[in-house]
Chains A and B, each alone.
Chain A
Amino acid sequence: MKKIINDPRNYLNEMLEGIYTAHSEMVTYVNDDFQCLVTKKKKEGKVGLATGGGSGHLPLFLGYVGEGLLDGCSVGDVFQSPSAEQMLEVTKEIDSGSGVLYIYGNYNGDIFNFDMAAEMADFESDIRVESVVAGEDVASAGPASPGEKNTRRGVAGIFFVFKCAGAAADKMMDLDNVKRVAEKAADNVRTMGVALTPCVVPRVGKAGFSIKEDEMEIGMGIHGETGIRRGKLEPADQIVEEMLEKILQDKPYKNGDEVAVLINGLGATTLDEQYIVTRKVNQILNEKGIEVHKYFVGEYATALEMAGVSISLIKLDDELKELIDYPAYTPFFKQ
């Protein structure tokens, strides 16, 4: 393991101390616990938006707490859900009487803890909590049949769900409507990733798996979950073709659709490469007659030092388009 860290046991707290130092005008913590992060710019009467999840994905999740986006985030240790109690403390702080919506990725630990936190918030403080669980990684499982639970993992595309719900809440929509918008966004987003190298959890000290120097894994998840195909590394255009085809078929996204696109670096892939990917994505979408309203390129959801990228699309209608364009100001996202 080659990392600029101190004792791995202090990794999380030291990272968070840095966050509170650099972004002291925007975020703080409650309950004397660094892991309970909340906005300093609370807007009275607004529906509160909370997320939570393991660390190791910056700017996900805490980086989207701020104006026009989220109000709080419970922060877990690397790749590990925070506790129900931590999510509860965040919930109590960000509620201003209009209820709270949880938006988080589809992982067992998060679901256990946040469902419990929601019940505790209702029981202890009469706070109405609703949840939208994002799972849009097309490589992780097939689409859910009607009435069945979605088993897909939540990855970078959750950014679009945050963005739309955050804007809706800032426009003072009520809880039911913010939830409706979040669900609509979640239904319309799809993601696929490719990994070139594994990632190392600091407290473990070594990678749990390896990818050979000349290999890649299409569809790998943001904790190193197995993808759909491992093979020789190919040129960027070929990789993009394979990934985008899977994404386009899945929704499907068709001729005449309008989309926003997120090209996301997983941690160790240069912006240069991300733009090379962007170029090819744009070519293919043009050929298919799919109109791109907006590109987002950069690191939005990383997997520690994993090399690789993910591509996310969200199909837009007039409402979602307006919410995507709505201003936001957070430590890691400004527009």
Chain B
Amino acid sequence: MNFTNKEGISLVNDLIKTIQENRDYLSKVDGAIGDGDHGINMSKGFTMAEEELKKHSDYNMSEGLMVLSKMLMGKIGGSMGPLYGNLFRGMATVSKDKDIIDSKVVGDMLEKAYSNIASISSAKPGDKTLMDVLDPAVKKYVHEINMNKNMIEALNSMAESADEGLESTKDMVAKIGRASRLGERSRGFQDAGATSCNLILKSFAKSIIKITS
């Protein structure tokens, strides 16, 4: 069960579509306890990547992820630019020399995405950030593969874990980032960064399942 790096470019295109389609939803979620601009900023960065990718129809998945990273890091700023820029750069660098992407490479991509974010952010699970989705989801995937599940099963479990993680942010008080300024008033609302991270991981999983089946 694997796919070529070349075929994987559809994963990048799906990510862009996912963020564009959820632009207003993400802003609405952010509006409750943030500035209400998360969807606008994310969509701006992903759409700039889409424009750039149109010029390079021969790019594979790793190259596409690197374009996404560069646009988010170079043009978007804020906290989310560098966070997701680092996440996608991690996915791009560990896969760039692989022609064939198998369950092991997918696991490496997820783990590197995680460690790249952890290297710049001090957020821990429980702080009401994207880490509440990323941390359990990545661990779940790795665990499932270690238990000899196949890649599709592991990706499906990862997506469930991402949903549980997102749900868990509703009852948390934000400790870090924009929403932390509200303190106790942030409880009861889903975190915006965790929401976009959930969308990204589920889109990632869905694309791979689609390519390999």
**Contact partners of B120 in chain A: CB under 8 A:** 112, 115-116
**Contact partners of A204 in chain B: CB under 8 A:** 27, 31, 35-37, 40
Interface residues of B in 76-128 (CB under 8 A from A): 76-79, 81-83, 120-121
Contacting pair B77 A226 (CB below 8 A): no
**Contact partners of B83 in chain A: CB under 8 A:** 112
How many angstroms between the C-alpha atoms of A77 and B183 in the bound complex?
A: 25
Do most interface residues of chain B lie in helix, strand or loop, or is the interface mixed? helix
Q: Does A24 contact B (CB under 8 A)?
A: no
Q: Does A109 contact B (CB under 8 A)?
A: yes
- Other A-B pairs beyond A116-B120, A201-B36, A208-B35, 5, CB < 8 Å: A84-B82, A109-B78, A115-B120, A223-B35, A226-B182
Interface residues, chain B, with chain A CB atoms under 8 Å away: 27, 31, 34-37, 40-41, 73-79, 81-83, 120-121, 176-177, 181-183, 185
**Contact partners of A113 in chain B: CB under 8 A:** 77, 81-82
What is the minimal beta-carbon distance from B38 to any residue of chain A, in angstroms?
A: 10
Contacting pair B37 A81 (CB below 8 A): no
Contacting pair A203 B37 (CB below 8 A): yes
Cβ-closest 10 pairs across A and B: A225-B181, A109-B79, A83-B77, A85-B74, A112-B82, A204-B36, A80-B78, A81-B77, A82-B77, A109-B78
Contacting pair B34 A208 (CB below 8 A): yes
- Chain A interface size range: 20 to 34
B75's partner among A83, A112, A223 (CB-CB below 8 A) is A83
What is the minimal beta-carbon distance from A16 to any residue of chain B, in angstroms?
A: 15
27 sample A-B contacts, Cβ–Cβ < 8 Å, listed by A number: A77-B41, A80-B37, A81-B78, A81-B79, A81-B81, A82-B77, A83-B73, A84-B77, A86-B77, A108-B79, A108-B121, A112-B82, A112-B83, A112-B120, A112-B121, A113-B81, A116-B82, A116-B120, A203-B37, A204-B35, A204-B36, A204-B37, A204-B40, A223-B181, A226-B181, A226-B182, A226-B185
What is the minimal beta-carbon distance from A10 to any residue of chain B, in angstroms?
A: 13
How many angstroms between the C-alpha atoms of A215 and B120 in the bound complex?
A: 39
How many angstroms between the C-alpha atoms of A308 and B85 in the bound complex?
A: 37
**Contact partners of A203 in chain B: CB under 8 A:** 37, 40
